[in-house]
Amino acid sequence: MSFFSNFPKLFYAFNLKTESPKAVTNIFSRFKVRSQVLNNAYSFYKYQLADGDTPDIVAYKQYGDPSYHWIICYVNDIMDAQFEFPLTQPALERKMLKQYDLTSIGEAYSTIHHYELEVEDTLAIVNGATTVTTNNYIITLDQYSYTTNTLSTVAVNTPTTQVYHFHANNADPSSANTATLTQKSTYKQVMVYDHEYRLNEEKREIKLLKPQYIQPLVFELETILNG
């Protein structure tokens, strides 16, 4: 089924003085499917987009029918696959050059987009597991100190480490040590290339409706549009 095959028609003419109105598909119609299928996480599976994938290509790969391209866009809330699907490497680099007014891709590697504070926490529990978590925060290098009432610029790519100990009785530092948290903080430059590449890669994972739920969704769409 073509995505627009069941859409309502309307009569339209570019110039009513020179031509008669013709029946055309109203592609601006909007609908919302209240299907239990779409509200069930078990109805979907994750899919990693490859370079060159388009909704119709993915539909053919996964469903054997490129006309189901609209389902992929609908369940992922994609309005414009040209820009919401990951770009190929050449297309991504052309986008960088145009968006940032660069003369060469080398500038994308050397131009700072923003700064981030990377915080790596290593929690080691005595006689237990060790877990490492990393978080990144967009920041400015200029830090204001309320203690000295001054503005200073922090160093880039220079890690600082702080260690915190947790005790059986935190009110008593001499009690048994139960865990140690090592926190490493690093201020980093994020270049234009790295920023845009990261955003592009974040688009690769989409969700796909399991094949057995395709026909129920199609039937519900036809019911809505023909009702």
Residues 138 and 220 in one domain: no
Write down the residue that tokens 């007014």 correspond to: 101
Residues 194 and 208 in one domain: no
Residues 159 and 193 in one domain: yes
Half-sphere exposure of 111 (CA within 13 A, CB side): 17
Question: Is residue 1 a part of any domain in this protein?
Answer: no
Structure-token pair, residue 55: 């909704």
Could you give the CA distance from residue 24 to residue 89 in angstroms, rounded to a whole number? Answer: 38
Residues 128 and 173 in one domain: yes
Residues 143 and 190 in one domain: yes
pTM, to two decimals: 0.72
Please give the tally of structural domains in the chain.
2
Radius of gyration over every alpha carbon of the chain, rounded to an integer in angstroms: 27
- In the DSSP assignment, the letter for residue 86 is P
The domain of 46 spans: 9-86+203-226
Could you give the CA distance from residue 2 to residue 19 in angstroms, rounded to a whole number? Answer: 28
Residues 103 and 170 in one domain: yes
pLDDT tens for the chain, 227 residues: list them: 454 455 455 454 445 556 666 654 444 444 455 567 777 888 899 999 999 999 999 999 999 999 899 889 888 988 888 889 999 999 999 999 999 999 999 999 999 999 999 999 999 999 999 999 999 999 888 877 787 888 888 899 999 999 999 999 988 888 999 999 999 999 999 999 999 999 999 999 999 999 998 888 877 777 766 65
Could you give the CA distance from residue 132 to residue 186 in angstroms, rounded to a whole number? Answer: 15
Residues 133 and 196 in one domain: yes
Structure-token pair, residue 78: 């994609």
